[in-house]
Amino acid sequence: MKAFTYQRAATPAAAAEAFVRTPGARFIAGGTNLLDLMKLEIDSPAHLIDVNGIGFDQIEATQEGGLRIGALVRNAHLAADARVRKDYGVLSRALLSGASGQLRNRATTAGNLLQRTRCAYFYDTNQPCNKRVPGSGCSAIGGVNRQHAVIGASGACIATHPSDMAVAMRLLDASVETMRADGARRVIPIADLYRQPGETPHLETVLQPGELITSVVLPRPLGGLHIYRKVRDRASYAFALVSVAAVIQPDGTGRAAVGGVAHKPWRVEAAEALMGRGATAMAAALLAGARPTEQNAFKVTLVERTLSAVLAAAKQGGA
């Protein structure tokens, strides 16, 4: 790990000011991803700005009937919140399926959304990776890519986004509230947060340098039955090969979002209209245009089978 300086910010304005003032600065909260990147010298910030003391650590009801989740709310606290468990069960289930209890106690809401890919080539600094070193190439294309994307990828990157929480947030149509370094604020639908990899996979979100996530807002509860089904190589502490987050209403209509298949949580609203026709029709619409590799083509079938399991569970009234 390379040497760096460190400071604790007391206010959002102080954090933003420090970022603008110090080249090579990074915000740090839970650090569950950033510290790993620093140890491997994938990311070598010159200065860390600790934002744990600036607030944004509460879950509050909104006037519209939803919830505003502070960016620094820990994953464990969010999953255990009574309102989340009652009205947004799919979010609680997604959070509890990720990482370990120790990591959930430290990981934050914003950090979870912004965690970087777990592509093995991204983490191996001896291998070319466009996401790590722009223009160096993508070792996963033509390499070992069983875990990688089957849709939404590009000729420059086929990595997937690792977050379970983000899949549930996309299903729920969450919005991300931010504050820029100049104090300006904006609201970004989570559907628009992540960039397509294209030729610039190192640019992963639409956030500007120094732009700080302050909260994530959930709209009014959807009701219905909430299910999160995660398929992985081992029962715990593993990233999804495929995951499905779903909310299904008593009349059989609903929503579904998929993880483990793309650079972002994958949801196609038009495919949801086919839910009543079964998993095969729905999966075909959801993954229309998929371009799997020889090693990960099984994911296309796995999405259909996981959707089928979710729909069957819904008919039985539970996850």
Q: What is the pLDDT of residues 22-76, one digit of tens each?
A: 999 999 999 999 999 999 999 999 999 999 999 999 999 999 999 999 999 999 9
- Residue 1: the pLDDT is 84
Answer whether 0.75 is exceeded by the pTM: yes
- Residue 318: the pLDDT is 65
- Residue 144: the pLDDT is 98
Percent of the chain with pLDDT over 70: 99
- Residue 236: the pLDDT is 87
- Please say whether the beta carbons of 69 and 217 come within 8 A: yes
Mean pLDDT computed over 87-102:
96
Mean pLDDT computed over 201-218:
96
30 CB burial (10 A radius; 0-12, 13-18, 19+) = buried
pLDDT exceeds 90 at position 279: yes
Longest dimension (CA), the chain: 58
Q: What is the pLDDT of residues 259-273, one digit of tens each?
A: 999 999 999 999 999
- Mean pLDDT of all residues in the chain? 96
Q: What is the pLDDT of residues 303-318, one digit of tens each?
A: 999 999 999 999 988 6
pLDDT exceeds 60 at position 319: no
pLDDT band at 250 (very low <50, low <70, confident <90, very high): very high
User: Is the alpha carbon torsion for 153, 159, 164, 166 positive or negative?
Assistant: negative
